[in-house]
Amino acid sequence: MLDRDLTERTLQAALRRGGDFAEIFVEDKTSSSALLDDGRVERVTSGRDRGAGIRVVVGETTGFAHTADLSARGLEAAAEAAAAAARGAGGGDRVVRVEPTPVEHDRVRVAPAEVAKTVKVELLTRADEAARAQGSAITQVTARYGDSRRRILVANSDGLFVEDDQTRTLFSVACVATGDTGMQTGRETVGRTVGFELFEETDVAELARRAARRALTKLGARPAPSGTMPVVVAAGGGGVLFHEACGHGLEADLVAKSASAFAGRVGEQVASPLVTLVDDATMSGEWGHFAIDDEGHRAAHNVLIREGVLTDYMWDMLRARREGRASSGNGRRQSYEHLPMVRMTNTFIANGDDDPEAIIADTPRGVYVAQLGGGQVNTATGDFVFGMTEAYLIENGRITEPIREGNLIGNGPEVLRRIDALGDDFAMGSPGTCGKDGQGVPVGDGTPTLRVTALTVGGTAA
């Protein structure tokens, strides 16, 4: 993407004013997408973004500049702008030598860019037909296809020079069913850090049928109950809760700002002894997977909570340096136009030993959540509210009627302490985009079936 000589000269320009550290991040990203709505293909697009971001650190101050001009002149101008923003002093030249670091990239068997647009559109029409075939109550179907290839290079004044090549492919179907209870929705999404071979293992028609059945089921659902009760979360269905309510609080930048309920608690029992919480970018094929993070550090398997005890936080490079430790490989950025920050990758609660069916049978009364929706979280306290997009009553140890219009209300750290059963059926959930400080990055999350002894269900039932 850039040769070593140009990279070295750019880093030297960045340090000319006396910086302590300089970094260049180069990105070349291509993408394509297609949208079908109400039986019509509304949009087929493709695009390319290419540029470099340059960071210069002087003491506690960071200067940053980005450019789409990857010529020697353009890179030097950006390097000097970043250095000026860092208010470096001292001047003089600093020689930088970088050495390529070999990294094993994931092999893509079918590059999406080599697949005809007509083939991608055919996936959308197949999904539309399958969803509508589930019944006349399905009044709207929206299907989306997307793929991207992101090539990055990271080089810095420590001598690092490393590249990665990341391909992601995604497909989603959303259905609207209309009946006496109004309009109800169902959604299914699959996304992997793989090429078009995703569709060798994914049947988009079955994906669409599941989305339609979810919407149709909710037409006959009763309003959700209200009150505090046991909640059983299905395998893969509740990972977003722990991502939002607990994961963000384990990011070192929020900990440093005392904006985390987990600040200063390493070594303490913060969860049920059943709980081991992991962030793992090495999970090949998962949505949050990569070979290196956006600061050039290798992907890592990081245990954050082990058997209920808080063992570590997630770290980017600069915050790790200040603490005299290594980065955990969690420095991520949305694009070359953004500074890296501490971000999750694939965050999950590890498998337990319980039989999932026995967990339900051992719950006389409660709510079974098959899929959670979006929510709001206060990371400083851990308080959250999440919508339930698919949920059912548990009565006498059996899953019975579907429910709708309900929220889960609670506190992340408290939920971790109240987990009293963990199934042996671990599954990852749907791919997601995590937003933080205006940046979005791809992430995954997962859980086995689990039970929380008491959570507040906010429903509309009298």
Q: What pLDDT is stored for residue 345 in this prediction? A: 98
Are 194 and 73 members of one domain?
yes
Instruction: State how far the Cα of 448 lies from the Cα of 326, in Å rounded to an integer.
Output: 31
| Domain end point (choices 220, 241, 274) | 220
Strands (E), 88-137: 99-100
Instruction: Report the domain count for the chain.
Output: 2
Residue among 13, 36, 38 nearest 24 (CA): 13
pLDDT in tens, 178-189: 998 889 999 999
Contact 190, 202 (CB under 8 A): yes
The first and second tokens of residue 89, run together, are: 């002093």
Q: What pLDDT is stored for residue 90 in this prediction? A: 52
Q: What predicted TM-score, i.e. pTM, was given to this entire model?
A: 0.94
Instruction: State how far the Cα of 50 lies from the Cα of 67, in Å rounded to an integer.
Output: 9
Are 215 and 347 members of one domain?
no
Are 99 and 23 members of one domain?
yes
Range of the domain at 419: 223-458
Are 129 and 13 members of one domain?
yes
Q: What pLDDT is stored for residue 165 in this prediction? A: 97
Are 87 and 187 members of one domain?
yes
Looking at residue 68, which CATH number applies to its domain? 3.30.2290.10
Residue among 312, 319, 272 nearest 297 (CA): 319
Q: What pLDDT is stored for residue 95 in this prediction? A: 56
DSSP characters over 323-335: TTS---S-EE-SS
Read off the pLDDT of each residue in 149-168 and give the average, rounded to a whole number: 97
| Domain end point (choices 202, 220, 238) | 220
Are 348 and 298 members of one domain?
yes
Read off the pLDDT of each residue in 280-304 and give the average, rounded to a whole number: 98
Are 42 and 71 members of one domain?
yes
Are 241 and 215 members of one domain?
no
Q: What are phi and psi of 79, to 5 degrees?
A: -65, -45
Please report, to the nearest 10 degrees, the dihedral formed by the alpha carbons of residues 84, 89, 94, 98 taken in order: -50
pLDDT in tens, 363-418: 999 999 999 988 888 988 989 999 999 999 999 999 999 998 899 999 999 999 99
Q: How confident is the model at residue 88 (pLDDT cuts 50, 70, 90)?
A: low
Contact 327, 158 (CB under 8 A): no
